[in-house]
Structure 1
Amino acid sequence: MNNSPGWASPGSAPSDEPDRGTQEQPGPQTAPDEPVAEQPTPPNWSKQQPPAGEWSSPAGIPAQGGARSRAGAIPHQGGWHGPQGDGGPVWGGGWSPVPPAAKPGVIPLRPLGVGEILDGAASTMRAHWRTVLGISLIVAAVSQTLITVVSGLWLPGRQPAPDAGSGPELRQALRDTGQALAGSAVTSLIGLLATLIATGLLTMVTSRAVLGRPVTTADAWKDARGQLPRLLGLLLLFPLMLFAVAAVGLAPGIILTSSGSLAPGLLLIVLGGLAGFVVSVWLAVRYSLASPALMLEKQGVIASMRRSAKLVRGSWWRVLGIQLLAFLIVALIESIIQIPATLIAFIVDGESLMDWANGTSDSTGWTFLIVIGIGAVISSALTFPISAGVTALLYMDQRIRREALDLELARAAGLSGYGTAPTGAAGSGTPTDTTPGS
C-alpha cells in the first residue's frame, strides 16, 4: 500500500510496494510474557482522523487524488479498521462493525446511492415542508396565473381549417398562427423564469437541509437572489447551445433537399437529426450540475459549466440514469394530476373532447383554462422540489466522491471531532463556503 497519510496502517513502515504496509518487519524478539514498549505513531500517519462512530469507509469507493485518504483506517472501539470497509479486519482487537456515517440532516455524509438521493429530496420536503411548498406554490401560482391570462387573451381560439383556395381565410390562419407562436414564446419565457426562481431558492433550501439547519423562505431568498441573474444566463445559454447543435446536424440535409436532391437530403436530415440528438443528450448530462454549482459556489455561467463537466467526468452514465429516473418520477406525478384536471375542465366547460381533438371547437373558454391552471399549480408545487432536490443532492454526492465534501459539511454542521469549520462556513450554514476542488 502506498505510503500516503491516512492509508498506512498504524505501526507500519514506509513502503512503495502494494500490499506491503501490514507485513511484519524484522526486529528484536521478545519473550511472550515480556511487556512490549508502546510504539510511537510513525510520521506518515495522518494526525487528523474522523471521530469514532461518525464516519465509515464506503465499500468499493477508492481514494482519488488524496481527497479520500482518511478512509483507509478508522478509529473504533477495540482497534483500527482497515481499508477493506464493512467487515474488514481490526488491528488490536476482534471483528467489529463499522460505525454508521454521520447524518446531521437529510442525507448521510458519505457517497450516496440512488435511493438515498431520491429519499433525500423527499426528506427535504418533509422536514421543511412549509418553506418548500410555500416557495413552490407561490412561484407556481404567480407563473401559472400569468400563463392563463396570456393564453386566454393572446392565443386565438380553435377554428375549423380554411379551404385551400380561400384567400382571406388563409391570411387569417397565418395571422392566427403567428399570434399563437408569439403567445407560446411568452408563456415559455414565463415558465422559464418560474423554473429559474424555484430552482435557485430550492437549491439553497436543500443545502441547509443537508446540514440539519432550519431555513425560511427569507433565508433562501437572501442566499439565492445574488445568483439569480447568472442562473437566468445559464438557463438561456443552455437551450441556445442545444438548438445550435440540432441546427448544425440538420443544416446539411436541409441544404441538399432545397437544392433538388430530395431522397439523399431526407436521408441526411434523418442521420443529422439523430447525431444532433445524441450530442444534445451528451451535453445535457455533462452540464446538468451547472445550476447547483452556480448557486452554491457563487460561480459565473461559464465557470459553473466547467465545474459540472469536471464533476460528471467518469460518471456520465450514472448521472444520466439518476436524472432520467427523476424525470420519469416528475412526469408520472404531472400525468397523475393533469389528466384528471383536463377531464374535469372539459366537463365543467361543456366542451366535447372529440371536437377539441379534431380542431372543430369554437374556442377554449376561461373556465377550461382556469381548471387546467389549477392542475398545473398543484403539479408544479410537487415537482419543483423533486427536480431541484435531486440535482442539488447529485451535485453534492459527486463532490463527496471526488473532493471529500463530506468532511467540510461535517465541520459546517458543527459535528465534534472534525476540526474547526472553515472561515464563513459556520455563519452561512450551506455548502456555499466550501472550497471547490481544483
Structure 2
Amino acid sequence: MNDSPGWATPGSSPSDGERPGAPSDQPASGGPKWSAEQPPPGQWSSPASGPAPGPTPPPQAPPQQGQGWGGPHAGQYGSPYGGQYGHPGGPGQWGKPPAAKPGVIPLRPLDMGEILDGAVTTMRAHWRSVLPITLVVATVVQVMSVLLQKYVMSDLVLGTDPAANFEEAINTLGTAAAVSIGVAFIQALGGIVATAMLTMIFSRAVLGNSSTVSAAWREARPQLPRLIGLTLLMGLGFTLIVAVLIVPGLLTESPGLAILGIFAAFPLATWLWIKYSLASPALMLEKSTVLKSLGRSSKLVKGTWWRIFGITLLTGVITGIVAAIIVWPLTFLGIGLFGGGMGGLQAGTASTAWGALIFSAIGAIIAQTIVMPMQSGVTVLLYVDQRIRREGLDLELARAAGVENYGTTGG
C-alpha cells in the first residue's frame, strides 16, 4: 500500500489481497496469523491468582445522577473512536461516535450540515488559496462580459421602433442571443478552470493539508482538457433534450405540444444533472476519462438521488440568495447614478451605460468570488461522502492523513 490519498477507484490501491485499514496481523482471508513478537513467559496469571485475561471491565457501580449511561469508564472499551455514549441529550449522547478529523470534515458519513460547514470552513481556513483563484477568474469573466455587452449590445435596436421591419427584429434577436451565448461560454470556461483548481484544494483540505495556487494549478492542469470535454458533453446532452422535446412544439406552432415538451424536458434534465453531478470530482481526483467519470458518478449517486438533489438544491438556494444580496443593490445603484434611472430602463440605454455595467460587474465579481468555492466545495464533499459510505474511503484518507490505528478495532 502507498500513502496516497486513495482517490483511485476501488481495487486499484490495495495489494496482496489486503483490506484497506485492516490490522497487519489479520489477513484478508480471515485465517490466524501470529505476531512475530510474543509476550514473555509468566505474563498471564491463572484464573485463581488474578483477573482473567480479556477485555471484560471490572465491575462498576450503578451510574450516579448526571453521570450518564457510560459511567466514569465510558468509551474505555469497545469503541474504535474512544468516545462515550451517554443519555440522549447529554455529553456523548446516542448518535454518531466521535471520528478522526484531520481536516475540515470528520472521516465518517456526513450529514447535510457537515457538508455545508466543511465547504465554509475550507473557505475560511484556506482563503489565501481559494479567494485568489475565484477572484481572478471572476474578474476576467466580468471584464470580458462588460466589453461584449458595451460594444455589441449598444448597437442593437433595444427600444420599440415602429419603423423596424421583421428582418431587423430577427437580426437584433440573433445578435442578442449570440452575445448571451458568448457571455455564457466565457463564464463556463472560467468556471471550469476554477472548479478544477478548487477541487484540488478541497481534496487536500479533507486531509488537513494546505495547497498553494501554483500547486493546485499544476495538479489540475493535466485534467483540464478532459474536464472541458466533460462539460461540453453534458451541455450537448441538455441541448439535445431541449431540441427533441421542446423545439418540435415551437416549429409546429403548437402551444400544447411545446408545454408538454417543457414538462417532460425539465424533470429529465434535472434527473441527469444530479445523476452526473459527481463526474467532475471523479474525473479530477481519480484521473479518469470522461466516460469513466460519468459512470463513476452514476454509480455513486445510485440509491441516494433525492439526498444529493436536496443538498445541491439547498446549496443553490443559499448561494443564489447571497449573490442576489450583493449584485442587485449595486446594479440598481449603477443604473440610478449612471444609467438614467427609470427613464434609461424604458429607453433601453441603462444596461449599456459604462457606470451601470461597471457597478453590476463589481457586484458579480464579489458574488462569484464567494459563491464559486461554496458550490465547488459542496460537490467535492458530496463525492467524498458517497465514497466513504459505499467504498470505505475514510480508511484510505485516515492512512494518508497519518491517523494511527484507524479502523483497526471493532466497536
Short-chain TM bin: 0.7 to 0.9
Matched, 1:135 2:133: yes
Q: How does 1:202-351 map to 2 (within 5 A)?
A: 202-250=198-246, 253-254=249-250, 257=252, 265-351=254-340
Change (3 A) 1:333 1:234: same
Q: Tell me the equivalent position of 1:425.
A: none
> C-alpha distance in 1, partners of 2:177/2:361?
20
1:407 is aligned to 2:403: no
Give the residue type in structure 1 aligned to 2:174. G
Alignment deviations for residues 282-334 of structure 1 (CA, whole Å, 9 cap, x no partner):
10110011111111111111111110000000000000000000000110011
Question: What is the alpha-carbon distance in structure 1 between the residues aligned to residue 320 and residue 93 of structure 2?
Answer: 45
- On the 8 A contact 1:158/1:364 being kept in 2, the answer is no
Which residue of 1 is the match for residue 170 of structure 2?
174
Residue 142 of structure 1: how far off its partner (Å): 1.1
Distance 1:252 1:177, change over 3 A: closer
Q: For residue 246 of structure 2, give the secondary structure of its aligned residue in structure 1.
A: helix
Q: Deviations over 1:384-429 (max 9, x none)?
A: 1000000000100000000011111111111122499xxxxxxxxx
**Residue 369 (structure 2) aligned to one of 357, 360, 381:** 381
Say if 2:339 and 2:351, in contact at 8 Å, map to a contact too. no
1:186 deviates by: 1.4
Q: Which of 375, 378, 385 is the equivalent residue of 1:397?
A: 385
Are the counterparts in 1 of residues 339 and 355 from structure 2 also a CA contact under 8 Å?
no
TM-fit CA distance, 1:346: 1.1
CA distance in 1, matches of 2:135, 2:343: 33
* Distance across 1 between alignment mates of 2:258 and 2:318: 33
Over 3 Å counting, the alpha-carbon distance change for 1:185 and 1:207 in structure 2 is same
1:194 alignment partner, SS class? helix
Distance 1:177 1:319, change over 3 A: same
Q: How far off is 1:177 after superposition?
A: 2.5
Identity of aligned residues (%): 46
Query: For residue 306 of structure 1, what is the amino acid of its counterpart?
Result: G
Matched, 1:194 2:190: yes
The 8 Å contact of residues 158 and 361 in structure 1, kept in 2 or not, is answered as: no
Contact 1:106 1:120 in 2 (8 A): yes
* Deviations 1:165-196 (CA, angstroms, capped at 9, x unpaired): x4x65444333322222222211110010110
Shift of 1:6: 11
- The aligned amino acid for 2:104 is V
Among candidates 145, 158, 178, match of residue 147 of structure 1:
145
Whole-angstrom CA distance in 1 between matches of 2:115 and 2:21: 28
| Residue in 2 that maps onto 1:353 | 342
Say if 1:363 and 1:268 are closer, same or farther in 2 by CA, change over 3 A: closer
SS of the aligned residue for 1:207 comes to helix
Equivalent residue letter for 1:178: G
Aligned residues: 342
The Cα of 1:268 is off from its aligned counterpart by 2.8
CA distance in structure 2 between the aligned counterparts of 1:104 and 1:131, rounded to whole angstroms: 19
Q: CA deviation at 1:275?
A: 1.2
TM-score by length of 1: 0.71
Once residues 360 and 320 of structure 1 are traced to their aligned partners in structure 2, the CA distance between those partners, rounded to angstroms, is 39
Q: Secondary structure of the equivalent of 2:374? A: helix
Question: Are 1:110 and 2:99 an aligned pair?
Answer: no
Question: Is this contact kept in 2: 1:159–1:363, CA < 8 A?
Answer: no
CA distance in 1 between partners of 2:20 and 2:201 (Å) = 36
Give the distance between the partners of 1:5 and 1:345, measured in 2 at CA: 58
- Report the AA paired with residue 366 of structure 1: W
- Cα distance, 1:250–1:99 mapped onto 2, change above 3 Å: closer
Whole-Å Cα distance in 2 between the matches of residues 130 and 227 of structure 1? 23
1:432 aligns to what?
none
Contact 2:338 2:355 in 1 (8 A): yes
Higher relative contact order structure (alpha carbons within 8 Å, sequence separation ≥ 6): 2
SS of structure 2 residue aligned to 1:105: coil
CA distance in 2 between counterparts of 1:304 and 1:191 reads 23
Distance 1:353-1:79 versus aligned 2 partners, 3 A rule: same
- CA shift, 1:237, in A, is 1.1
- Structure-2 change in CA distance of 1:347 and 1:96 (3 Å): closer
| Structure 2 portions without partners, runs of 5+ | 1-18, 23-45, 56-73, 87-91
Contact 1:253–1:272 (CA under 8 A) maintained in structure 2: yes
1:121 to 119, 123, 129: 119
Match of 1:185 among 150, 167, 181: 181
CA deviation profile, 1:46-103 (whole Å, cap 9, x unmatched): xxxxxxxxxxxxxxxxxxxxxxxxxxxxxx9643249xx9749xxxxxx998851010
Partner of 1:154, secondary structure, is: helix
TM-score, normalisation: structure 2: 0.75
Relative distance call for 1:347 and 1:252 in structure 2 (3 A) is closer
> Quick one: distance in 2 between partners of 1:266 and 1:179?
26
Distance 1:78 1:320 in 2: 40
**CA deviations over 1:231-268 (Å, ceiling 9, x no partner):** 1111111121112122222355456x45xxxxxx4323
One-letter identity of the residue aligned with 2:287: K
Q: Runs of 5+ in structure 1 lacking a partner?
A: 8-30, 41-75, 89-94, 259-264, 421-438
